[in-house]
Chains A and B, each alone.
Chain A
């Protein structure tokens, strides 16, 4: 059964690649000579190598790179969090943050009642203001609450954020509050103790008097890493929206890593544009961004990711209605923040995960070619 499903998914992706190649052969949107041919060549290579050794190519890319860096396949929360934190690099941070932040913001929109606020920034700021590495509902309300709405609104919102991110809630009842002498209930939000231990040093400094203050390194990526760790450990319990969102993000990362790098002539104006840094960026064919290609590749790839990361449980939750496909395609908005248009050229910012996936690709294909010889 499982073998049949996997084979079917691979075949769907192969078919998507075939249709993309046909589309590319019919239309040329590229402005760099040879760009279209490089893309066709790359798609053909992927299509040809895809079924070999039961889809080893994709399995290795997903397991060794995406799962190991961003979504560890473990039931141990601490191991997962540690693994994601250790995979951080500044360039990768900015891209993962764009991708996940976009996802969290849209999830947040439904969770937090339409507010467009930068939720994670607010949380960082709230932690920064205290010396016990906790957020308190009253203080959060004073900092970010809307005075026209009751405090209960902030409490509900914080509870949902805590649940969403995996923070712990502690309740404290005080018979007489120092300020007004009335009984009061406080809600403290914090990371679980074992997670705090991981953060000690680089992210949280513990003073001799026991106070815990966050360092300048403590940023929203800590939440994003924690969010990813929580989601990865609880992958069996996630809802449809989260599963579709995560799969779309990982598919984009894979698709981006597939793109061949192009060489441009020395006289090309991009070489004189200061926004282009050949050390950290590479020009990739732009036609893959067209709706016709994205639509062909995204949906089967989302299904492949779902199956490899969450098994049949996740695959069932990828609903392929037209509306849902549109949601996957909306991920193309994220692409423009992750990549850059520079003088009409699509440029990919090289981050470790892209390089790593590309390396897996070369390794497997070269290995296979070596074997054939």
Chain B
């Protein structure tokens, strides 16, 4: 796969924004020049569209088709708005509403256009860098150790646990190979296994002398018990790759029979009350588990974040699409009111698929998410996946979008 440079991706990212901006600017000029009574019927609009579409702009066919399509889209919305409001609002006011909506849209496009610079070396002052850092801090932090990442994730989980978990669970249909050294996403079965381990450790643990420290007894559960509720061998794959899976949550197989926490998990978990010590003799302590729903899931995410150079293709596409969507939607929320007549143009697949894939690649660079951008898919199907994931928005994502939007406002004010 070709490793594209920043300078190769950046123009692609700018391409459609730079094609849309003049369309909005020309159209606002047309509406500003229009007398309010011209909105009584759509003659002027149709004349304008006919002239624009006939004019030879000396552009390549794809671009003129793109412009014609968007221009029609813009004016369809203008005319819909006039028809909706004509009976209750006077024409001058309607024109002002349309102009306001245009101004919001142009501000949004200008923001997207100035999000980053062609010169990658100046990244620190760009909004793209700052916003991606902000998003990472909430759901996918970078720190020097897994323990630090884990603590940070737990701190942020009060507000964002659902989306932290969402980041691990693509809604797309897939089956990843657990033998692969790259960390895969949490499949529905794996998530059930995590739930089962959490419950069994909390409900009824056995205690075993730690293989690493003979002064403590660690909680363990019997390996086979976690697979009992699975019927028809549906968890066979997970069962045969259990060791690999457990490592990703700082758990380990002991004597090939028991599952127990590693010393690293115990020390990281103790900081958050997920384990407590109980003295059972003068020389021996027992580690009592008291896990929460997020204890293992966030350990999986912390490990993933720490080893972000080695994550599966499915997850790379999912994580970068979620971060790009968060950024795009937050910017949209910052600049456009939901009632804006052009709002749906920006949430339409045909707009998103021209901007988001390149934004995803840009945010994969080292200074940003630092994940392997060569694994970002370029197929039509993959663009549909992005679209599908928009439909799967979860409530906590809305909360994060609001928070990012507030952050964008502080950036603009600065």
Contact flags (1/0) for B188-202 with A, using CB distance below 8 Å? 100010011011001
Which A residues touch B348, using CB under 8 A?
Answer: 129
Which B residues touch A332, using CB under 8 A?
Answer: 199, 229
Given contacts A207-B84, A289-B199, contact A117 B204 (CB under 8 A): no
Given contacts A125-B390, A208-B87, A273-B273, contact A341 B202 (CB under 8 A): yes
Given contacts A275-B157, A275-B292, A333-B192, contact A118 B391 (CB under 8 A): yes
The total of Cβ contacts below 8 Å across the A-B interface reads 112
Interface size on B, as a range, is: 35 or more
Contact call B388/A125, Cβ cutoff below 8 A: yes
A144: contacting residue among B84, B228, B295, B388, CB under 8 A: B388
B381 at the interface (CB under 8 A from A): yes
B203: contacting residue among A118, A129, A286, A337, CB under 8 A: A286
Which B residues touch A117, using CB under 8 A?
Answer: 171-173, 388
Task: Name the distance in Å between A90's Cβ and chain B's nearest Cβ.
Answer: 9
Contact call B292/A118, Cβ cutoff below 8 A: no
- Interface positions of B from 340 to 372, Cβ below 8 Å from A: 348-349
Given contacts A124-B391, A273-B273, A333-B192, contact A343 B292 (CB under 8 A): yes
In the complex, what distance in Å separates the CA atom of A189 from the CA atom of B158?
Answer: 40
Contact flags (1/0) for A182-210 with B, using CB distance below 8 Å? 00000000000000000000000001110
Given contacts A117-B388, A289-B199, contact A29 B204 (CB under 8 A): yes
A162 at the interface (CB under 8 A from B): no
Contact call A336/B198, Cβ cutoff below 8 A: yes
Given contacts A118-B392, A207-B84, A209-B83, contact A333 B292 (CB under 8 A): no
Contact call B289/A326, Cβ cutoff below 8 A: no
Contact flags (1/0) for A222-255 with B, using CB distance below 8 Å? 0000000000000000000000000000000000
B70 at the interface (CB under 8 A from A): no
Given contacts A147-B381, A343-B274, contact A289 B388 (CB under 8 A): no
A366 at the interface (CB under 8 A from B): no
Task: Name the distance in Å between A151's Cβ and chain B's nearest Cβ.
Answer: 14
Which A residues touch B161, using CB under 8 A?
Answer: 275
B2 at the interface (CB under 8 A from A): no
B145 at the interface (CB under 8 A from A): no
Contact call B202/A344, Cβ cutoff below 8 A: yes
Contact flags (1/0) for A317-331 with B, using CB distance below 8 Å? 000000100110110
- Interface positions of A from 116 to 133, Cβ below 8 Å from B: 116-118, 121-122, 124-125, 129
Which A residues touch B157, using CB under 8 A?
Answer: 275
In the complex, what distance in Å separates the CA atom of A209 from the CA atom of B171?
Answer: 37
Contact flags (1/0) for A283-323 with B, using CB distance below 8 Å? 00011011100000000000000000000000000000001
In the complex, what distance in Å separates the CA atom of A148 from the CA atom of B381?
Answer: 9
In the complex, what distance in Å separates the CA atom of A124 from the CA atom of B195?
Answer: 29
Contact call B349/A143, Cβ cutoff below 8 A: yes
Which A residues touch B229, using CB under 8 A?
Answer: 326, 329-330, 332-333
Task: Name the distance in Å between B343's Cβ and chain A's nearest Cβ.
Answer: 12
Contact call A343/B290, Cβ cutoff below 8 A: yes
CB nearest to A336 among chain B residues: B195
B294 at the interface (CB under 8 A from A): yes
Contact call A333/B391, Cβ cutoff below 8 A: no
Contact call A273/B292, Cβ cutoff below 8 A: yes
Contact call B290/A345, Cβ cutoff below 8 A: yes
Contact call A146/B391, Cβ cutoff below 8 A: no
In the complex, what distance in Å separates the CA atom of A186 from the CA atom of B380?
Answer: 23
B380: contacting residue among A29, A118, A147, A327, CB under 8 A: A147
Task: Name the distance in Å between A125's Cβ and chain B's nearest Cβ.
Answer: 3
Which A residues touch B338, using CB under 8 A?
Answer: 216
Contact call B199/A208, Cβ cutoff below 8 A: no
Which A residues touch B192, using CB under 8 A?
Answer: 333
Which A residues touch B199, using CB under 8 A?
Answer: 289, 332, 336, 341
- Interface positions of A from 66 to 125, Cβ below 8 Å from B: 94, 114-118, 121-122, 124-125
Which B residues touch A327, using CB under 8 A?
Answer: 231
Task: Name the distance in Å between B280's Cβ and chain A's nearest Cβ.
Answer: 16
B264 at the interface (CB under 8 A from A): no
Contact call A344/B195, Cβ cutoff below 8 A: no
- Interface positions of A from 250 to 265, Cβ below 8 Å from B: none
Task: Name the distance in Å between A319's Cβ and chain B's nearest Cβ.
Answer: 14
- Interface positions of A from 335 to 355, Cβ below 8 Å from B: 336-337, 340-346
Task: Name the distance in Å between B200's Cβ and chain A's nearest Cβ.
Answer: 9
A274 at the interface (CB under 8 A from B): yes
Which A residues touch B83, using CB under 8 A?
Answer: 208-209
A48 at the interface (CB under 8 A from B): no
Contact call A115/B384, Cβ cutoff below 8 A: no
A343: contacting residue among B188, B273, B380, CB under 8 A: B273
Which B residues touch A289, using CB under 8 A?
Answer: 199, 203
In the complex, what distance in Å separates the CA atom of A274 from the CA atom of B199?
Answer: 20
Which B residues touch A342, using CB under 8 A?
Answer: 292-293
Which A residues touch B173, using CB under 8 A?
Answer: 114-117
In the complex, what distance in Å separates the CA atom of A345 from the CA atom of B273?
Answer: 12
In the complex, what distance in Å separates the CA atom of A346 from the CA atom of B293?
Answer: 10
In the complex, what distance in Å separates the CA atom of A324 from the CA atom of B349?
Answer: 43
Contact call B172/A336, Cβ cutoff below 8 A: no
A181 at the interface (CB under 8 A from B): no
B387 at the interface (CB under 8 A from A): yes
B291 at the interface (CB under 8 A from A): yes
A150 at the interface (CB under 8 A from B): no
Contact call B188/A121, Cβ cutoff below 8 A: no
Contact call A275/B202, Cβ cutoff below 8 A: no
A31 at the interface (CB under 8 A from B): yes
Contact call A341/B388, Cβ cutoff below 8 A: no
CB nearest to A102 among chain B residues: B188
In the complex, what distance in Å separates the CA atom of A286 from the CA atom of B171?
Answer: 31
Contact call B292/A125, Cβ cutoff below 8 A: no
Contact call A333/B158, Cβ cutoff below 8 A: no
Contact call A341/B198, Cβ cutoff below 8 A: yes
Given contacts A125-B391, A327-B231, contact A29 B381 (CB under 8 A): no
Task: Name the distance in Å between B266's Cβ and chain A's nearest Cβ.
Answer: 14
Contact call A275/B290, Cβ cutoff below 8 A: no
A-B contact pairs, 24 of them (CB 8 A): A94-B395, A116-B171, A117-B172, A122-B388, A125-B387, A125-B390, A143-B349, A144-B384, A147-B380, A208-B87, A209-B80, A216-B338, A273-B273, A275-B161, A275-B292, A286-B203, A290-B203, A326-B229, A333-B192, A336-B293, A341-B293, A341-B295, A343-B290, A344-B288
* Further pairs besides A143-B388, A333-B196: 12, Cβ < 8 Å: A117-B388, A145-B384, A209-B84, A275-B157, A275-B161, A286-B202, A291-B228, A332-B199, A332-B229, A333-B192, A344-B291, A345-B290
Residue positions of B touching A, CB distance < 8 A:
80, 83-84, 87, 157-158, 161, 171-174, 188, 192, 195-196, 198-199, 202-204, 228-229, 231, 273-274, 288-295, 338, 348-349, 380-381, 384, 387-388, 390-392, 395
